[in-house]
Amino acid sequence: MTIRTRFAPSPTGYLHVGGARTALFSWLYARKHGGQFILRIEDTDLERSTAESVNAILEGMTWLGLEYDEGPFYQTHRFDRYKEVIKQLIEQGDAYPCYCSKDELNDMRDQQRANKEKPRYDGRCRHLTSAKPGVEPVIRFKNPTTGTVIVKDEVRGEVEFKNSELDDLVIARPDGSPTYNLTVVVDDLDMGLTHVIRGDDHLNNSPRQINIFTALKAEPPVFAHVPMILGDDGARLSKRHGAVSVMSYRDEGYLPEALLNYLVRLGWSHGDQEIFSVDEMIALFDIDSVNKSASSFNTDKLLWLNQQYIKNSTAEHVAHHLSWHMGERSIDPVTGPNLAAVVELQQERAKTLVEMADNSCFFYQAVEEFDEKAARKNLTTKSQEILEEMLQRLSALELWQAEPIHKEVKDCSVDREIGMGKVAQPIRVAITGNTISPPLDLTLELLGRERTLSAIRYAIDWIKAKSSDLDGA
Ligand code: GLU
C-alpha cells in the first residue's frame, strides 16, 4: 500500500503555526514511507475564502519547503462530483431532503432543552413522502440511530461515539452546495488518502465522516488527531500570544529549518534530542510517538534553535535567506561584498536574520548618520587625529588584507601609547555608524579599501563640522 496523506487548509486566513505543524506531520509521514503528500484547498465557504489566503498558504508551504506531490486541488472545482455523491446517497436511501424552516428547528431545540434533552435534529423529515412546494430543502445524511462508531486514532487510541449522539447532518445547503463533512469524505476517498492527520478540533467530525464512508461502501482512512498548540499562558495559541502566521517568522528573521525543527518538537519527541535536520525528521518521525496532550509554544526555544541553525548552516544557505531581508532594506547585495562572506563574519553573532541584516547594511550602504551615544564617545576631536593617522596608514597599505590592517591598528596604538580599542572603535563607528561589528580587521578587509577610506573621511568631516558648530556656539 502506498501511503497518501494530505494537508487540507481552509483559505480563510494566513498559514498559521498550528496548520503548519499539521502539514509537517502529514508531509513527514508520507516522506518517511515513500508515499505521497497532497495539498487540498478547502474553499467551499465562498464568503470566508479568499485568493489572498490561498496565496499566503502556498507561500508558507513553499517557504517551509513542504513540497506536495499532487495539488493544490480546489474543492470549488469539484462541485459536480459532490453533487453526484449527494444524489447517490439520496438514491440509495442514505440521505433525504429536509424542509424544516429555521423557526421550526428553533422550536424543536427549545422543546428539547425544556425536556432536558440535548438539542439535536430529530429526523422528522426522514419519512416525508412528498416535497413541500416552494421550499428549497437542505439534504441530510441519514446517520445510523443505534450502535457505536469507533475512531481508531493513531494518537488517541480508540475513541468511541454513540450513534444516538450524532444527528442527521446537513450535507447540502438549499442551493445544492455541499458542506464540509461531505466534501472531506468524497475527497479523501477520491484522492485515495490512506492517512488523515489533522488537528484534534476535528475529532468530533470523524465518526460522522466514518458513517458517510460506510454508506459509500468504502473503507475510511486511518485517522490521527494531533493535539492543539497552547500559548505560554495555557490558552489555545492565538494572535494575542504574538506571531502565529508562518510568514511572520520569515519576516522576523527565522530560518525555515529552525521553524520546522521547532514545530516537529511540538508534540513529538525522540529521546531528548532537540536538533533534527529535515532528513533526520523524516527518518525518525512516527505518528505513534506524537503526544496525546497539548503542547505549549515557547518563543525562547524557537529563538535558541534559530541561532543554532544560523550558526551551523552553510554560509551560502544563510545568505540565500538573508538576501530577502537585504531586499526589504532596499539593498541589492551584488552592489557590495559577497553576501556569503558577510554571513561568515556574522554567523556567530546573530540570533535572527533581522539582526544580521540590520548589522550588515553598512557593507552595502555608506553610513550617513551615527548612533548618538557611539558618536559622542568615539567621534571626538581626539579621535579625529587617530582617524587621520589611520587614513594615512590604510591608504598606504599595499595588501588590503586582515593581517596588515590589524598591524596598522596595532602600530598606531603602540605609537600613541593607547589601547588598541581606542584606535579600533572610532573606525568601527565610522564604518558601521555604531559600535557593533565582527572583528575589525576582517570587517575592513571585506568592506574593501575604497569604502573604508571614504567612511573614515566622512567621519573626519563630520567631527570637523561638529566642532566648528560648537566653536560657533
Ligand atoms: N479544512 C479543515 C480546516 O482547515 C481541515 C479539514 C480536515 O483536515 O479534514 O480546519
Question: How far apart (Å, rounded) are the C-alpha atoms in residues 245 and 17?
Answer: 6
Report CA(6)–ligand 1 centroid distance (Å): 10
Question: How far apart (Å, rounded) are the C-alpha atoms in residues 203 and 24?
Answer: 19
Nearest to 208 by CA among 226, 183, 175: 183
- The DSSP 8-state label assigned to residue 260 in this structure reads H
State the DSSP string of 409-464: HHHHHHHTT--HHHHHHHHHHHHHSSS--S-HHHHHHHH-HHHHHHHHHHHHHHHH
**Ligand 1 atom 7 nearest Cα:** 8
> Tell me: the pLDDT tens digits for 166-191?
999 999 999 999 999 999 999 999 99
pLDDT-based confidence at residue 469 (cuts at 50, 70, 90)? confident
Sign of CA dihedral 51, 53, 56, 60: negative
pLDDT-based confidence at residue 232 (cuts at 50, 70, 90)? confident
* Ligand 1 atom at minimum distance from 201 CA: 10
Nearest to 343 by CA among 371, 365, 369, 310: 310
Report CA(465)–ligand 1 centroid distance (Å): 64
Report CA(161)–ligand 1 centroid distance (Å): 20
Q: What is the pLDDT of residue 472?
A: 64
Strand 36-41: give its sheet, edge to edge: 4-7, 36-41, 70-74
pLDDT-based confidence at residue 243 (cuts at 50, 70, 90)? confident
Q: What is the pLDDT of residue 448?
A: 97
Report CA(223)–ligand 1 centroid distance (Å): 13
* Ligand 1 atom at minimum distance from 205 CA: 9
Question: How far apart (Å, rounded) are the C-alpha atoms in residues 207 and 93?
Answer: 19
Mean pLDDT value of segment 192-216 = 97
Cβ(444)–Cβ(407) below 8 Å:
no
Nearest to 298 by CA among 353, 228, 199, 231: 231
**Is residue 443 pLDDT above 70, yes or no?**
yes
Strand 157-162: give its sheet, edge to edge: 157-162, 148-153, 222-226, 195-199
Query: To test ligand 1's pocket by mutation, which of 16, 42, 212 has the most ligand atoms within 8 angstroms of CB?
Result: 42
* Ligand 1 atom at minimum distance from 19 CA: 4
239 is catalytic: yes
| Marked catalytic residue, from 162, 239, 311, 407 | 239
Cβ(412)–Cβ(387) below 8 Å:
no
Question: How far apart (Å, rounded) are the C-alpha atoms in residues 451 and 428?
Answer: 13
- The DSSP 8-state label assigned to residue 78 in this structure reads G
Question: How far apart (Å, rounded) are the C-alpha atoms in residues 216 and 186?
Answer: 9
Instruction: Tell me what percent of the residues of the chain surpass a pLDDT of 70.
Output: 100
Mean pLDDT value of segment 352-367 = 97
**Is residue 198 pLDDT above 80, yes or no?**
yes
Mean pLDDT value of segment 201-207 = 96
Q: Which residue has the cell 493535539?
A: 227
Q: How many CB atoms are closer than 10 A to CB 185?
A: 27
**Is residue 439 pLDDT above 80, yes or no?**
yes
pTM of the model: 0.93
Mean pLDDT, all residues of the chain: 96
List ligand 1's pocket residues with C-beta within 6 A: 8-10, 42, 184, 198, 202
Nearest to 57 by CA among 12, 123, 91, 99: 12
**Ligand 1 atom 6 nearest Cα:** 8
Q: What is the pLDDT of residue 206?
A: 98
> Tell me: the pLDDT tens digits for 45-66?
889 999 999 999 999 999 999 9
Report CA(9)–ligand 1 centroid distance (Å): 5
* Ligand 1 atom at minimum distance from 209 CA: 9
Query: To test ligand 1's pocket by mutation, which of 38, 153, 186, 198 has the most ligand atoms within 8 angstroms of CB?
Result: 198
Report CA(12)–ligand 1 centroid distance (Å): 11
pLDDT-based confidence at residue 212 (cuts at 50, 70, 90)? very high
Mean pLDDT value of segment 311-326 = 98
Q: What is the pLDDT of residue 473?
A: 58
* Ligand 1 atom at minimum distance from 7 CA: 8
